[in-house]
Structure 1
Amino acid sequence: MSAESTPDPVIRGETGITTPRRRAKGRRRKPPTGGRRKALTVMAWTAAGIVVLGGTGAGYLYFKLNNNLKTVDINQALGGDRPTKVGNGSENILVLGSDTRSGSNKKLGGGADDGSARSDTAMIVHVYAGHKKASVVSIPRDTLIDRPACTDTKGGTQPAAHDVMFNSAYTTGGAACAVKTVESMTGIRMDHYLEVDFSGFEKLIDELGGVQVTTTKNIDDPDSHLKLKAGTHTLNGKQSLGLVRTRHGVGDGSDLGRIQLQQAFIKALVNQVRHIGLFTNPKKLYDLADTATKAVTTDSDLGSVNSLMSFADGLKGISSSHMNMVTMPVRYDSANANRVVVAQAKAKLVWDALKNDRPIPASATKGTATGEAKGVVISS
């Protein structure tokens, strides 16, 4: 069986479990009229973990949404010392879920309001030529890596470091350092960068009306503030954030197990967004656009509503059934069971496949550390 057809162990409908699709309660939305063709479409990916935005277009509202966006000039920060762009029609996007411990994120992430920042969710999204399929490679935050020298957010130079956790790159030098570290690890140029923070993720889920999940076991994780009885739930933003952050409430308590939940949740969210359609309520439409544009930080090439709209339009044909989600091949560190190291030979199979716009072979992830996250089924 190829990696493209490997069953997801926690997504309903892809594990052999067949049930009718549940419809949301309330009035069914009518399809949009031709005069509303510039309505906003929102597609959400992640932890963390991926949100791709379309645009809405009228007057001062457009400029207000544009001003909501935060951008980072990755090209200027990294200069010419980068992998070469691949001209085969594919795209690579680094998606981060950040947990800045300041402002409204403090109560969500816990800890001191010290302004520090980490990236607890990291994914490389490879969109294949033709934009009909995608592969998503999750990078465990606890992976020990060699971090290259980076320019930090204040313009200072941070020296290279050996055997440090992957998520230290973002803490050390922000978005540009995270991109440089991923490019150093993979040899693949990141065409775009997309970041969503804790509070933004929570608000987006609430605006989208929640996400339905079914738990086969009780979940009680005081660290992620998630407490659910076994059964079917429509999770609000706070609960959804708790689910994608939970480690100790489900499975073996590992970061690798949490990644399984994140991947399943993203697939469910992508499916849900695809079935929402375009809103006919202008206020609801604007509220969603306002929330979404405040929630993300992008590279400067995506730093306008028009650019995001065009980018989203190129991705809207990708359904969850055409998303192959894997975890970067790793093995447990022999010196510390709470850390993992890259399984270099198998990881090379992943990176080579993406460079050449090919499916990731099943052999790339066979026999690698995966963690365990049983007890939750994400409805698709």
Structure 2
Amino acid sequence: MAQSSARREGTRPSVPDTARPGGLPGQRGAAGPGPRTGGGGGRRHGGGRRRGKRGKRRILRWVAAVVSLVIIGTAGAGYLYYRHLNGNLQKDALNLGDHQVPKTKANAAGQTPLNILLIGSDARDSKENQELGGAKNTFGAAPLADVQMLLHVSADRSNMSVVSLPRDTVLKIPKCTDPQGKTYPATGWTLANESLGRGGPGCTVATWEQLTGIHIDHFMKIDFSGVVSMADAIGGVPVCVDANVYSHTHDGHGSGLKLKRGTTSVKGQQALQWLRTRYGFWPDTDVVRTRAQHQYMNSMVRQLRKGAKLTDPGKLMDLADAATKAVTVDTGIGTPKKLYDLAGELQKVPTSRITMTTMPNVNSTRPGFSQKVDPKAGDADKLFAMVRDDTPLDGKASKKKTPKLSDDPAAAKDEIGITVRNGTGGDGAMPTSHRATDVATLLRGQGFTRAASDTRQDPQKTTEILFPGADLEGDAQSVAQAIGVPLSSVKKSTDVSGVTVVVGSDWRTDTIYKSAADDDGKTPDTADVIHGDDKTQCMHVDPAYTW
């Protein structure tokens, strides 16, 4: 439907263009505004054997679709089919940057959050992608990461947070070296979607880590044809518009999406049109387009969790085949078995605890980046900090209680042994030199004469004060009060033998610790929150695009 229009949506120049707009795979247009540590469907083989342990081993339940793969979908396949699926998967390096954010450490219960980056590529690198994406002058050009969504799954698997980065976000891309050894030097100010063309998805991962200070565990990349094949295999996803909409302009721009008012189940190319539509959803910006993407994802999750598409073995196998052909993943999840294990963790999250957000942003004021966006100071930092700290974005975290002072009073300052470690490299940047020594000197000046620095590097984002047992909790709290660290950052850890201050990357300078983020546990209003169980979402149509 309206194929020629769909091809024109996302047209881009063949040379670098600082005014290039942003959106989902290939869409173009003007942009808008850890905790610390101390079966289905399998076929029987071998003629008439009863199901036992060996039979069970032949059954594989695993992820069904690129987004459902990450969020919930499961499908069944026999072992031989598993081998076929394994051959479908394409793999690439996880992180191509020089300075990587340290992996999130497990909490006291041994649980670790999961951070998975979804990347939508606009590559015109195949006949099918060229047909779907159009823009002949860009055939074979470096791909752009036109969709970037971070899926954060909490350590206890009780909730999931999704953070979208507008593709026209102005930032600096770090130095990246591809698997063949080609080096792409760090950039000055440029657009976020340029990262994919600098060695592959591993450079997009490195860019995210540099921007947010969040460690990325895995990535999944999909292109135009992958979106279409997955949407067809799923069989339709319900979406809603509040008026008839036709995404088509007088000069031929637009995705070609044409829907009647109300709810329509979209699949195939029509699903791709929905995800790429900018001209049509008020106020015709890439940020609003991100909201349409979130509506689609939430609806897909609800659809798959109904189980309607997971009962027909033939459909399951089609879905499995389409999923594994559609995505490129990092080597850490590069087999169906590993994806299955990942899905087993992710499907623990109830739909009602999935929260979609967009990075808070403002119109960029940087020269040469008119109509692009910058992270909104304060709000974007707070959103990233909440993800780093594993704070649910749906506001359903346990009510924070003000930590109580220990019943065991602190010893005299000059009797408390303190070890100070430099953890300022926790944001992926180079650690601040001599920071442990500086803080140890600061503590001695306040009367903690037994404070000493440790040469061990212990990178982490947030400053913490650790203690091994209840008998030293009061001492640790006394240290925290002296240097302004909140009592909530005083934690028991079996990794230390005495009171230990780990100076995080949030305290690179100054003599008194000051928390960079407002710790009220509330997601910024500017993050445009949509909850996974909200069935009332309906895109507001620009009156200029009704029919």
**TM-score for both structures, normalised by structure 1:** 0.81
Instruction: Give yes or no for the alignment of 1:106 onto 2:130.
Output: yes
2:322 alignment counterpart: 291
* Alpha-carbon distance change, 373 to 56 in structure 1, aligned in 2, over 3 angstroms: closer
- Of 108, 118, 132, the residue aligned with 1:95 is 118
* Alpha-carbon distance change, 349 to 232 in structure 1, aligned in 2, over 3 angstroms: closer
Instruction: Give yes or no for the alignment of 1:230 onto 2:261.
Output: yes
- Give the aligned residue type for 2:134: G
Identity within the alignment, %: 32
* Alpha-carbon distance change, 105 to 278 in structure 1, aligned in 2, over 3 angstroms: closer
CA contact (8 A) 1:39 1:278 kept: no
Structure with the higher fraction of residues in strand conformation: 1
- Give the aligned residue type for 2:232: D
- Give the aligned residue type for 1:174: G
Instruction: Look up the SS of the partner of 1:169 in the other structure.
Output: helix
2:60 alignment counterpart: 38
CA contact (8 A) 1:54 1:306 kept: no
- Give the aligned residue type for 1:242: Q
- Of 280, 283, 299, the residue aligned with 1:268 is 299
* Alpha-carbon distance change, 250 to 86 in structure 1, aligned in 2, over 3 angstroms: same
C-alpha distance in 1, partners of 2:215/2:63? 27
C-alpha distance in 1, partners of 2:351/2:222? 20
Instruction: Give yes or no for the alignment of 1:304 onto 2:369.
Output: no
CA contact (8 A) 2:241 2:539 kept: no
- Give the aligned residue type for 1:345: G
C-alpha distance in 2, partners of 1:42/1:56? 9
* Alpha-carbon distance change, 78 to 164 in structure 1, aligned in 2, over 3 angstroms: closer
Instruction: Give yes or no for the alignment of 1:374 onto 2:528.
Output: no
Instruction: Give yes or no for the alignment of 1:85 onto 2:103.
Output: yes
* Alpha-carbon distance change, 367 to 182 in structure 1, aligned in 2, over 3 angstroms: closer
Aligned length: 341
> Displacement of 1:213 after TM fit?
2.2
1:356 alignment counterpart: 389
Question: Could you give the per-residue CA deviations for residues 283-337 of structure 1, whole angstroms, max 9, x where no partner exists?
Answer: 2221111111000111101000000011011111323321111111211113555
Instruction: Look up the SS of the partner of 1:176 in the other structure.
Output: helix
> Displacement of 1:375 after TM fit?
3.6
Unaligned runs of 5+ in 2: 1-39, 43-50, 107-111, 249-253, 394-519, 530-537, 543-547
1:162 alignment counterpart: 188
CA contact (8 A) 1:244 1:262 kept: yes
Instruction: Look up the SS of the partner of 2:188 in the other structure.
Output: strand
Post-superposition, which runs of at least 4 consecutive aligned residues in structure 1 deviate over 4 A? 31-37, 49-57, 361-364, 367-370
Instruction: Look up the SS of the partner of 1:167 in the other structure.
Output: helix
* Alpha-carbon distance change, 55 to 218 in structure 1, aligned in 2, over 3 angstroms: closer
Greater Cα radius of gyration, structure 1 or 2: 2
CA contact (8 A) 1:143 1:339 kept: yes
1:179 alignment counterpart: 205
* Alpha-carbon distance change, 344 to 150 in structure 1, aligned in 2, over 3 angstroms: farther
- Give the aligned residue type for 1:70: Q
Question: Could you give the per-residue CA deviations for residues 16-39 of structure 1, whole angstroms, max 9, x where no partner exists?
Answer: xxxxxxxxxxxxxxx979989634
- Of 194, 215, 225, the residue aligned with 1:199 is 225
> Displacement of 1:57 after TM fit?
4.7
1:365 alignment counterpart: 524
- Of 89, 93, 105, the residue aligned with 1:73 is 93
- Give the aligned residue type for 1:217: A
